[in-house]
Structure 1
Amino acid sequence: MRVRSQAVSIAKEEKADVKLCELAALLHDVSDEKFHFTQSAGKEYLNEWMVTQNIPSDIRNKLQQIIESVSFKGGNGKQTETLEAGVVQDADRLDAIGAVGIARCFMYAGFHRSPMHHPEQQPRYNLTEQEYRDNSASAVTHFYEKLLTVKDMMNTPTGRRRAEKRHKRLENFLDEFYSEWSGTS
């Protein structure tokens, strides 16, 4: 719902098709391979659902195109081809940074029993999708591998402006975190 709310808000500011952005945002993770045996099974599941909802084929095609361009996939996400795809991708990426992004990062690390911080661990860059999905990085390392890179990947002026604010929250958090970790504050 956070991605949906963000997409609707950005779509209004950017004069994009609000309803298309809203629906794509609501559906953007439904076909994700994390929830299906294969990527094609996820696409088939989503398409079958849209057919049962009587969504016209031209709208289904637009939704599929938007959804396919949203995922981060190790920083190797597809370039968006439409304003609506850019809006939904921005909304999804904004959800990964700022205060909510910090909370998500530590929840994910805890769930996967990854360390909070490993001072000697170096960030991994130019990751394959499989390397990105590997849970060996600490939560703090993930800031450098993904979270701190997001602001430079935004598509819309609204997304860029919002990402700048959230990026500053990440930087402020890390300053405080390192200060407390080292015992200097």
Structure 2
Amino acid sequence: MPDDHFRPPDGVVPDDVDPVFLNVADAVASWLGADPTGHGLAHAWRVFNTAMSLADEYPAADRTVLGAAALVHDVHRAMGLEAGEYVHPEDALEEVEAVLSGAEVTEEKRDAILHCVALHEEYDFRGDRRDPDRIEVELLRDADNLDAMGAVGIARCFAYTGAHGRPMWTGDGEDALDHVEAKLLNLGDEMHTDAARAVAERRHAFLESFLERFRAECRGQA
């Protein structure tokens, strides 16, 4: 089990969550439980909550597939920390399948979950986004991207860059603010669903407001 320091805070895990999701979370804890970069269990549960909320507008979505995919989608990030280099989600599917098997997720559901995980981290602004063929892929992408926006997105950005030894702001393109500008400000345009676009608009505005305030404070102007 993960160290208490990295456990999701009270209120993040729904009180009435289906036991199948608790099984998946327990099974993936050995991968995500000690993550210091903003891709740990708390992030997984936030993506889960957001994805399930978005899915209320899309009754055709398989909520078991979507919820489980949300909880396991960042195993590749943990593998990357161990390897010291980025690992693509498709290169983590064997490990994800082992997690799902350990949680006794059915084979039929596992295949769909693995498909969602394989396609979830692709972006138009980066030029590598493949068109999703399932609503669950769209919802997972949207929920994951929303967690990189707004107040939580900023907090995760500084956790991520700090864990990788990068400074807050130097102006040389290798700092936390560059990550906000190069990636986070582009995420609003990546949303697939109308439900996510409405949330993204508010979170994007917060990102812009934060950047303006941050720079002003650094210059002693606020």
Tell me, yes or no, whether TM beats 0.5: yes
Q: Which has the higher contact order (CA 8 A, sep 6+)?
A: 1
How many angstroms apart in 2 are the aligned matches of 1:72 and 1:101?
A: 18
Q: CA deviation at 1:36?
A: 6.2
Number of aligned residue pairs: give it.
170
Contact 1:35 1:42 in 2 (8 A): no
- What percent of counterpart residues are identical? 34
Residue type of the alignment partner of 1:60: R
Distance 2:50 2:103 in 1: 24
CA distance in 1, matches of 2:197, 2:82: 32
Partner of 1:69: 119
Unaligned runs of 5+ residues in structure 2 are 1-44
Q: Does 1:141 align with 2:178?
A: yes
Task: Give secondary structure in 1 for the equivalent of 2:162.
Answer: helix
Which of 91, 95, 106 lines up with 2:158 in the alignment? Answer: 106
Task: Please say which of residues 9-18 and 50-59 is displaced more in the overlay.
Answer: 50-59
Letter of the 2:117 counterpart: I
Q: 1:165 to 1:36 in 2, by over 3 A?
A: same
SS at match of 2:75: coil
Stretch of structure 1 that moved more, 94-103 or 55-64: 55-64
Q: 4-13 or 37-46, which moves further after superposition?
A: 37-46
| Unaligned residue ranges in structure 1 (runs of 5+) | 123-136
Give the number of the structure whose residues are more often helix, by fraction. Answer: 1
What does the per-residue CA deviation read over 1:114-134, in whole Å, with 9 as the maximum and x for residues that have no partner? 121123x25xxxxxxxxxxxx
> After alignment, is 30-39 or 13-22 more displaced?
30-39
- Tell me the CA shift for residue 20 of structure 1: 1.9
Shift of the alpha carbon at 1:94? 0.5
Which residue matches 1:163? Answer: 200
CA distance in 2: counterparts of 1:165 and 1:147, whole angstroms: 13
Letter in 2 for 1:23: A
Say whether 1:4 aligns with 2:41: no
